[in-house]
Structure 1
Amino acid sequence: MNDRALYSKKKQDPSLKLFVVLSKAYRAVADQVADDIRSYGLNTTDFGVLELLYHQGEQPLQKIGNKILLASGSITYVVDKLEKKGYVKRTPYDKDRRITFASITEEGEKLLNEIFPEHWKQIEAITAGLSEEEKKSAIELLKKLGLHANELSRKNNV
């Protein structure tokens, strides 16, 4: 099989097509969500930290990065910015000085209470290209795909 035939065959491969379509869809949706978040004077990382603290309460700084997929070195910078804006506060852990907790302030809660309902509406508008049933199917299929990819990663790191 020559290179041209091999390329043509690969182009028709559903795995490759799924990857391309998934990547493009993610980029389109993520760009819309980021634009919405920026309209409130935040970036997606700031919003992710605030949303995590709002919904899950006080968190050790070390855990925040893992939960919102942020490098540990960046978390200090993000929390510093949010603290200066009055949205987050740090609390040292009295039993271990190496651990510091972050929590959302009343000002941060007020901000999220103001913007989250509109942000939610925007996400509903962005995902309105799918019916409720299609959204549920997509959630299950993407979860299955992600779990499989994580399992492969885990096996490769053993």
Structure 2
Amino acid sequence: MDKNMDNNYIDKISNKEVIRQLIIFAMKHRRIMQKFLDETGVYQAQHRLLMEIFRNPDASQNDIARSMDVSAATIAVSLKKLEKGGYIKRETVEEDNRFNKITITEKGNKVVEQSKQIFDLVHQKVFEGFSEEEKRTLFTLLQKLNSNLDRMEAETK
């Protein structure tokens, strides 16, 4: 395809096709990440929770549930599985028996470190061949899309 035909094709891409490409990208990214993260021995939901605990070491179970936009009961189930697997420890805080201090064990820290390496590798490969300017442009465009979705979400509440 010559350059003029290519530009004409691009001029005619529908909003639907752009969104379809975003969805395909997200699905492929998720599949690839899951394949790599399966090697850590932690299931997807547990992995996400472990990373959240790592990023917010002093957060309560309820804080974590809010930040992950899931119920406290869902977090409790996943915490039990992570604890049983030896990835975290939960200790009751003496001042408030309702509050558990959640800490990542050495085994959990190994998974976090392995995961960070996986994220870095996948992200590096995803952006192979991109210039800094292209990444900035993409970032700006995605921010605009997210801003539009934020407004739509607010309108539906």
Unaligned runs of at least 5 residues, structure 2: 1-11
Aligned to 1:65: 65
Aligned to 1:154: 154
Go from structure 1 to structure 2 and tell me whether the alpha carbon gap of 1:17 and 1:156 turns closer, same or farther (over 3 Å shift).
Answer: same
Matched, 1:91 2:91: yes
Go from structure 1 to structure 2 and tell me whether the alpha carbon gap of 1:132 and 1:40 turns closer, same or farther (over 3 Å shift).
Answer: farther
CA RMSD of aligned residues (A): 2.5
1:43-82 pair list within 5 angstroms: 43-82=43-82
Aligned to 1:3: none
TM-score (norm 2): 0.75
Go from structure 1 to structure 2 and tell me whether the alpha carbon gap of 1:91 and 1:115 turns closer, same or farther (over 3 Å shift).
Answer: same
Aligned to 2:5: none
Amino acid at match of 2:142: L
Matched, 1:120 2:115: no
- Partners of 2:150 and 2:60 in 1: how far apart? 25
In the TM superposition, what whole-angstrom CA distance separates every residue of 1:35-63 from its partner, at most 9, and x where no partner exists? 11012212222222222222221321122
Q: Give the SS at the match of 1:32.
A: helix
Judge conservation of contact 2:37–2:118 (CA < 8 Å) in 1. no
Go from structure 1 to structure 2 and tell me whether the alpha carbon gap of 1:104 and 1:155 turns closer, same or farther (over 3 Å shift).
Answer: same
1:93: how far off? Answer: 4.5
Go from structure 1 to structure 2 and tell me whether the alpha carbon gap of 1:41 and 1:150 turns closer, same or farther (over 3 Å shift).
Answer: same
In the TM superposition, what whole-angstrom CA distance separates every residue of 1:23-81 from its partner, at most 9, and x where no partner exists? 11111111111111012212222222222222221321122233234444321121111
- Partners of 1:30 and 1:116 in 2: how far apart? 15
Number of paired residues? Answer: 146
- Partners of 1:23 and 1:99 in 2: how far apart? 39
Judge conservation of contact 1:82–1:88 (CA < 8 Å) in 2. yes
TM-score (norm 1): 0.75
In the TM superposition, what whole-angstrom CA distance separates every residue of 1:59-113 from its partner, at most 9, and x where no partner exists? 2112223323444432112111111122112233455544434232233123323
Judge conservation of contact 2:36–2:118 (CA < 8 Å) in 1. no
Go from structure 1 to structure 2 and tell me whether the alpha carbon gap of 1:131 and 1:37 turns closer, same or farther (over 3 Å shift).
Answer: farther
